[in-house]
Chains A and B, each alone.
Chain A
Amino acid sequence: MAKLLGIDVGSTTVKVCVLGETGEILYSSYVRHYSRVKQCVLGELEKIRPLSDTFKTCITGSAGLGIAQRGKIAFVQEVQAAYGAIRKLYPDTDAAVELGGEDAKIIFVTGGTEQRMNGSCAGGTGAFIDQMATLLDLSVEEMDALALKAERVYPIASRCGVFAKSDIQPLLNQGASKADIAASIFQAVVDQTVSGLAQGRRIKGKVLFLGGPLFFLKALRKAFKQTLGLDDAHAVFPDTAPCFISIGAAMYASESEEETLAELEERLLAVSDGENITVGEPLFRSQEEYSDFIARHMRSDLEFENVLTYRGDASLGIDSGSTTTKLMLITPDCKILYSHYQTNNGQPLDIVVQRIREIYSLIGDRIVIRGACVTGYGEDMMRAALKIDFGVVETMAHFKAALHFNPDVDFIIDIGGQDIKCFKVKNRAIDSIMLNEACSSGCGSFIQTFAKAMGMEIEEFSRLGLFAKHPVELGSRCTVFMNSSVKQAQKEGASVEDISAGLSSSIVKNAIYKVIRARTPDELGQHIVVQGGTFLNDAVLRSFEKETGKEVVRPAIAGLMGAFGAALYAKENTARDTLLSSLVSEAELAAFSYSSRSVICKGCTSHCNVNVLTFSDGRRFISGNKCERGAGLPKPKDEPNIYAFKYEKLLSLPNASFAGERGTVGLPLQLLMYEQLPLWTTFFETCGFRVVLSEKSSRALYFRGQHTVASDTACYPAKLMHGHIESLLDRGVDFIFYPCESYNLDEHDSVNHYNCPVVAYYPELLKANNERLNDGNLVMPYIDPNSEGTTVRALHRVLKKYKLSASLIRRAYRAGLERMQAFHALIVEEGRKILSRADREGKQVIVLAGRPYHTDPEINHGIDKLLNSLGLAVLSEDAVFEEGNFVKVNVLNQWTYHARLYRAAEFVTRRKNANLVQLVSFGCGIDAITTDEVRAILENSGKLYTQIKIDEINNLGVVKIRLRSLLAAIEEQQRKQ
């Protein structure tokens, strides 16, 4: 009698199971396949040979599909396989959660069967956990063990690995404990599963947890149990969890043809490799070509000076990057005395201390460090800890270094561990800066993670790509997408060499087309300098030259350019004086130690997680705070900040002491309501309702509504809306009001005056996905605020229950419109005050231009306050657009809020001390159109354009770099004039 064989070929592992006649498990296994899918499956088959002469086989899994199709073996979709096994083995299950390498799935068994898989843009899977473990320099097992000892959990975005990194990196750099971070990572996975997959359905009853990660990781189990509120009886972790799906597949195999193992192997062997994948040209056609290439790049090198014999002055540069730390000591004529490059392993300060000790021991009395300068993520902390003379924003450091190698340089691209920076240079000054947005990284650490996943070191992995014959085309988007492209290539049987070369080319394409968004390679410039550790990888460098069709300069110290630039900065700034560096002395350093602890700042309602480093000499360094209070400073008063002003005024609109004889109405302070709150507050109060606002936005509020989010790629403001609705429902209002408005106010400066689809129709989505909402408690009339007649009629209809007269509604609506105009006038007035004050005090003004709802501090993450702390006055687009002229733009100017952006930009072009920074929410499709136009308007007039993309991640570090680079560039420009 044939045994049943189930093979589950996932993105990272192969699971095999053999069932006997009565369904008993005779064999099961779980092994990583390191992309060698076919070989791995064949190897596993060897092990089951003794079990039976013949088998009936069924394959499942994301990477199994291709094999099954081409080997003509029965295939069952993996969720279906799981479903079959659950019904047989655990018939009383209500729901099952399965996490795999790159998939996450939920199966609801009772109460309407439903099977769901993660969307194409979703982290929170095994691969995500692997990636995070790599980032922490831990094995997954170690991370698990640590997480169980955690004391607190930080909020970490899990939608995509790159987001999470942006959250984790600052925590690491601030010295948060790895245990706490590890636990936070697992919590993020749980949150992602609950929000991304459950989407409005609660996971309850008896829940089965399946898949490798949920079997092996105790901390992940714990987090799931806690979050879902399950006790031991309701959270089931079967011993068969890792290979559960293959059991399901084996069950489906009963309908397959019976055959011998040899027959099956023959068919597997016959599966051809490399079909259906697009391949590019090899990077090098011959060894000779490669040698020429190497020789050419050898020319860009610095000279060395012997640190053990040299006598004289030196300058020290430190680049404390997000994943690596670089140091360089140079002579006044720019020869290298000492350099160092090292992965942070989460402890950048320890590394720098250790290295400076080493430097002191090497230089003795012969060499005098005249100045030291630090750049990068860790700049503030390093300066404080080690009394370093200067700090320079990293973009400037890189620019200085590149200038040294090519004074004619007009384009610099730096690809580091997790960021891409590009600068265009005009007249030896930075003209524009492009940084990768957190979602399109695909940078150096991506290759590294990938190499590890394939069980190789990065050097070996990239070397393999150099002579690949058919590099795979993997697309040019974010990490998650590339992962699935690789999956596809593996499915098609691409070799590791081809994948390695393909990844290098992806990174380059990502940089050119996604970050720089060049249309043709000529746009980049004629004299390109490439740098950053990733370019030390010859495969990446070659891909870049091939893609651009240009020979570029890659300094041999490509990975050290930040440190070199910092050293140059220190050198230039100490050339004229005779003072010694303030850098900690050898003796001080010998006694140096520090301790770190994280506390919640109680300075204000933000409750920031702040990290306090205490140094051995008693000094302290505080980080993670959003405002000065966290740093122990008094709250600054009366900053020129229209965002803060507007928010405060909005919150004070509803009359708290008004009784409201007709009932209470809840207004969710989000999206459209940030603009129309004055209108609807006055409208309802005039009609005799008490107005209740939703709670202030916060991460916690977002989590409260997360289970009703239907589309996880919508913008953060939209997703926050769900929390606001929960908040109002909990506050017990009679009904919630949010109008659907296809059209916004006509401000007579655009072709049409639409709202974006999300702002216009979000209540439809809320109603459809929140079981607590119904026609009675969510009132959402379709109105056009420009048309009083139809609006009054619509309001009359939806508020029929309250028997309001049409004339009262008309009067209330008019009063509301007047209030809204008055409110707007107030904002404009405040804007004027800020402008004249800035003029008076000689301050630079930033028009922080976005949408009305970017006023929300949870959405803008305090960027307004950050600007204030950099000494800038902050205005908003709605405060200034009326001062701007009408504009004619290239695109169809048809959205009210967006028309304001163009006019605000026009206004900025005519103000000497004003610049514009555009805030863009992730997932805002419309801003894909506006950003290019706003940029064109500004650049036409010689102004710099800066765009900041914001989402739920709360990491001001990157934003600060951008803003400081902008300031540096503005200064540079002014100096030129």
Chain B
Amino acid sequence: MKALPERPTVDFSEKFPVFTPEMKATHTILIPDMLPWHFDLLVHVMRRAGYKVEVLHNEGRAVIDEGLKHVHNDTCYPALCVIGQYLDALKSGKYDPEHTAVLITQSGGGCRASNYIPLIRKALKAEFPHVPVLSLNFSGLEKGNSLQLSVKEFIQLAYAIFYGDLVMTCYNQTKPYEREEGAAAGARVFCVEALKKALDAGSYKKLKRCARLVLETFAAVPVDRVPKVKVGIVGEIYVKYSPLGNSHLEDFLLSEGCEPVVPALMDFILYCVINTVNDAKFYGKKRGTALAFRIVYNWLYGKQKAIIRLMKAQGRFEPLHDFEHLRKCADKVINQGVKMGEGWLIPAEMAALAETGTDNIVCAQPFGCLPNHIAGKGAVRALKQLYADENIVPVDYDPSATRVNQENRIKLMLATARENLRQKGGKA
């Protein structure tokens, strides 16, 4: 490539408040809601690291309206929800704007989501000019303005995610069948509190002990195993998980008498990690970093395998997806080069769900999500050719898309699902 001639750089950027090390002591850091129980554990780790962190749970029209007012309306819905939550919270008077910061994760991929930070800064500028925006990322973006955690603390975060996934999976497989209303929720509270103690005591690394605690707690909940429609939830990371983003999709499915099957958050992290490894393999990019990522990957994947082994040994629960299996699933449908947004992970999860008996799937996506054109809606036909019974409904989430419209579509999918279940029941 020909080198371009040297030119001066003109600075069109605006100054924004920086999160200085001293602020760690003085500032409360707000985090948008996504996975309440995972975040409970993650926040616990951050608090132990000395950050004053708080997860936002505010909801409702006011949140969305703040988002609409402060973000370009063609920007994706997650940005709107997240920014709406920040502004609504800051305006509530609960937080001192002079001593508050906000935190967001950043993947650094080729999707718009990497631009959330500037969007948040822009949104805060008019009314809360002193609130710094912090990044949590692994790509070296926003140097000096990201959360500073030690290796040990990162490891704790990883464990927190593993345990969060395990609790979520066991809960979803118990709740629809519980004999006594609220028993599964009780088990969840018990597990999360016990895991926090494990994080405090340092025993969180004893994977076997912690995982068994979760598995056995949930296995002890009395259940009636009546056949229910299982519905997988895949899609863009935020609307897939966040109740605010997906209009409480899990609750809706539960109310319809279904078992929601929600793939693990760790799969998304493994997906991000392996993409860097793939980049090196495909294009020879950043070989050094890739090597380090390969080590991280191997370590994480090893832990995931261990959890899956424990789940199988316990026997009551359908285990988490094996990430290497997910990659093989992806290869049947799409190239692993599709790495922007949730990319190949979406079809991979849809295929893996079909292979593990969850034919019914809600593919949740923000309206107009670019990667999802290809990896979500675009992949449905290919998946159906592989798995004839697969029953997929892509659902767009958007500030003005109404629940009626979304639920109607999901109900159509459920009607087919129930029909299929009945037919299978007839055969069996």
Binding site for B on A (CB under 8 A): 62, 65-66, 76-77, 79-80, 112-115, 117, 119-121, 199-200, 278, 473, 475-477, 481-482, 484-485, 487-488, 491, 509, 513-514, 517-520, 710-711, 713-714, 718, 740, 742-743, 745-749, 752, 754-758, 760-762, 764-765, 767-769, 782-784, 786-787, 789-790, 794, 817, 821, 882, 884-892, 894-895, 902, 906, 923, 925-929, 931-933, 936-937, 940
Q: In the complex, which residue of chain B has the Cβ closest to the Cβ of A766?
A: B378
- Would you call B335 and A782 a contact (CB within 8 A)? yes
CB within 8 Å for A925 and B75 given contacts A711-B378, A754-B110, A790-B282: yes
Cβ-defined contact, A928 with B75, below 8 A: yes
Flag if B404 contacts A487 (CB, 8 Å): yes
Smallest CB-CB A-B distances: 4 pairs: A754-B110, A475-B400, A784-B283, A765-B378
Q: Chain B's nearest CB lies how many Å from the CB of A540?
A: 19
- Inter-chain CA distance A710–B379, complex, in Å, is 9
Give the docked Cα–Cα distance between A752 and B8 (Å).
19
Contact yes or no, A758 B373, CB < 8 A: yes
Q: Nearest chain B CB to A593's CB is how many angstroms away? A: 47
B73 is an interface residue with CB less than 8 A from chain A: yes
Q: Assess the B115–A929 pair: CB atoms within 8 A.
A: yes
Contact of A760 among B7, B110, B398, B407 (CB under 8 A): B110
Q: Quick one: which of B112, B369, B401, B402 has the most chain A CB within 10 A? A: B402
The proximity string for B residues 384-428 relative to A, scoring 1 for CB distances below 8 Å and 0 otherwise, is 100010000000101111111111110110111001000000000
Number of interface residues of B (CB under 8 A): 88
- B145 located at the interface, meaning its Cβ lies under 8 Å from any Cβ of chain A in the complex: no
Chain B residues with Cβ under 8 A from A487's Cβ?
402, 404-405
Question: 18 A-B contacts, Cβ less than 8 Å apart?
Answer: A62-B408, A65-B408, A482-B400, A484-B401, A484-B402, A488-B404, A743-B283, A748-B3, A755-B110, A765-B379, A767-B382, A787-B283, A888-B9, A890-B14, A890-B118, A890-B121, A928-B112, A929-B112
For residue B239, give the distance in angstroms from its CB to the closest CB of chain A: 14
Besides A120-B406, A200-B381, A782-B335, 13 other CB < 8 A contacts?
A117-B412, A711-B378, A758-B370, A762-B374, A764-B374, A765-B378, A886-B9, A886-B10, A889-B13, A890-B14, A890-B121, A894-B114, A931-B72
Q: Which residue of A lies closest to B111 (CB)?
A: A757
Is the Cβ of B110 less than 8 Å from the Cβ of A710? no
Residues of the B chain whose Cβ atoms lie less than 8 Å from the Cβ of A743: 283
Determine the distance from Cα of A199 to Cα of B373 in the docked complex, in whole angstroms. 13
- Are A790 and B110 touching (Cβ within 8 A)? no
Q: Are A925 and B112 in contact (CB under 8 A)?
A: yes
Q: Complex Cα distance A756/B114, Å?
A: 12
Residues in B neighbouring A888, C-beta threshold 8 A: 9-13
B368 within 8 A of A: yes
CB distance from A256 to the nearest CB of B (A): 16
Q: When A747-B4, A757-B371 are in contact, do A890 and B13 touch as well, CB less than 8 Å? A: yes
Tell yes or no: B152 within 8 A of A by CB. no
B235-251 vs A, CB cutoff 8 Å, 1 = contact: the mask equals: 00000000000000000
B69 within 8 A of A: yes
Known: A477-B400, A714-B373, A892-B117. A760 touches B283 (CB 8 A): no
Which chain A residues lie closer than 8 Å to B419 at the CB level? 80
Chain B contacts for A488, CB-based, 8 A: 402-405
Q: Would B415 and A79 count as touching, CB distance under 8 A? A: yes
CA distance A928 to B11 in the complex (A): 21
Is A928 within 8 A of B74, CB to CB? Answer: yes
Q: Which residue of A lies closest to B117 (CB)?
A: A892
- In the complex, are the beta carbons of A768 and B379 less than 8 A apart? yes
Distance between Cα atoms of A435 and B334 in the complex (Å) = 41
B72 and A120 contact, CB distance less than 8 A: no
Query: In the complex, A80→B384 CA distance in Å?
Result: 20
B70 to chain A, nearest CB (A): 6
Complex formed: what's the CA distance from A794 to B60 in Å? 50
Q: Look across to chain A and name the residue whose beta carbon is closest to the beta carbon of B127.
A: A520
Inter-chain contact A925/B339, CB cutoff 8 Å = no
Give the distance in Å from the alpha carbon of A782 to the alpha carbon of B282 in the complex.
7
**Does B8 lie within 8 Å of A62, measured CB to CB?**
no
Most buried by B among A482, A517, A940: A517
Report the minimal beta-carbon distance from B291 to chain A, rounded to whole angstroms. Answer: 17
A76 to B399, CA, bound (A): 27
Q: How far is the CB of A126 from chain B (nearest CB, A)?
A: 16
Tell whether A756 pairs with B110 under 8 Å between CB atoms, given A761-B374, A887-B12: yes
Complex Cα spacing A224 to B409, Å: 25
Q: Mark B119-160, 1 if CB is under 8 A from A, else 0.
A: 101110011000000000000010000000000000000000
Interface residue B351 (Cβ < 8 Å from any Cβ of A): no
B106 to A, closest residue via Cβ: A892
CA distance A746 to B4 in the complex (A): 10
> In this complex, what residue of B is CB-closest to A713?
B368
Whether the pair A757, B373 counts as a contact (CB closer than 8 A) is yes
- Chain B residues contacting A761 (CB-CB under 8 Å) are 337-338, 340, 371, 374-375
Instruction: Determine the residue in chain B with the shortest Cβ distance to A710.
Output: B378
Residue from A755, A769, A892 within 8 A of B141 (CB atoms): A892
B211: Cβ under 8 A from any A Cβ: no
Give bound CA distance, A120 to B408, whole Å. 11
Chain A, residue nearest B60 (CB): A278
Q: Are A476 and B12 in contact (CB under 8 A)?
A: no
Distance in angstroms from A76 CB to nearest chain B CB is: 7
B87 → A minimal CB distance (Å): 10
Contacts of A745 in B (CB 8 A): 1
**B46 sits at the interface (CB 8 A):** no
Considering only CB atoms, which chain B residue lies closest to A940 in the complex? Answer: B12
In the assembled complex, the Cα of A484 lies from the Cα of B72 at a distance in Å of: 22
**How near does chain A come to B77, taking the closest CB pair, in angstroms?**
11
**Measured CA separation A388–B298 after assembly (Å):** 78
Bound form: Cα–Cα A761–B69 in Å: 33
CB distance from B136 to the nearest CB of A (A): 15
A889 touches B4 (CB 8 A): no
Query: Chain B residues near A120 (CB, 8 Å)?
Result: 367, 396, 398, 401, 405-406
Indicate if the CB atoms of A473 and B368 lie closer than 8 Å: no
Contact of B10 among A713, A895, A906 (CB under 8 A): A906
- Beyond A115-B416, A888-B10, whether A746 also contacts B338 by CB under 8 A is no
Tell whether, in the assembled complex, residue A786 and residue B1 are in contact, meaning their CB atoms are under 8 Å apart: yes
Cβ–Cβ < 8 Å partners of A755 in chain B: 110
Which residues of the partner chain B approach A932 to less than 8 Å between Cβ atoms? 72, 122
Q: A119 to B396, Cβ gap below 8 A?
A: yes
Residues 343 to 375 of chain B near chain A (Cβ within 8 Å): 367-375
Kindly list chain A residues whose C-beta atoms are within 8 Å of the C-beta of B368: 713, 923, 925
**Residue numbers in B under 8 Å from A757 (CB-CB):** 110-111, 340-341, 370-371, 373-374
Q: Nearest-CB distance from B74 to chain A (Å)? A: 4
The listed residue (A514, A519, A902) touching B70 by CB distance below 8 A is A519
Query: B284: which A residues are within 8 A, CB to CB?
Result: 784, 787, 789-790
List of B residues within 8 angstroms of A937 by Cβ: 12
Report if A928-B415 is in contact (Cβ < 8 Å); known contacts: A754-B110, A758-B373, A889-B12. no
Nearest residue, chain B, Cβ from A102: B405
Query: B380 contacts A80, CB within 8 Å?
Result: no
How many angstroms between the C-alpha atoms of A698 and B319 in the bound complex?
A: 51
**Docked complex Cα distance between A380 and B412 (Å):** 51
Find residues 53-82 in chain B having any chain A CB closer than 8 Å to their own CB.
60-61, 68-70, 72-76
Closest residue on chain A to residue B395 by CB atoms: A120
Q: Name the B residues within 8 Å of A887 (CB-CB).
A: 9-12
Inter-chain CA distance A481–B374, complex, in Å, is: 24
A485 touches B409 (CB 8 A): no
Q: Are A926 and B10 in contact (CB under 8 A)?
A: no
Contact yes or no, B404 A784, CB < 8 A:
no
Residues of A within 8 A of B112 (CB): 925-926, 928-929
Question: How many angstroms between the C-alpha atoms of A77 and B407 in the bound complex?
Answer: 10
- B148 nearest CB across to chain A (Å): 21
Q: Given A790-B283, A821-B2, A886-B9 in contact, is the A756-B412 Cβ separation under 8 Å? A: no
B44 at the interface (CB under 8 A from A): no
Of A65, A473, A477, A758, the residue contacting B404 (CB under 8 A) is: A65
B376 CB to closest chain A CB, in angstroms?
8
Chain A residues whose CB sits within 8 angstroms of the CB of B369 once the complex forms: 925
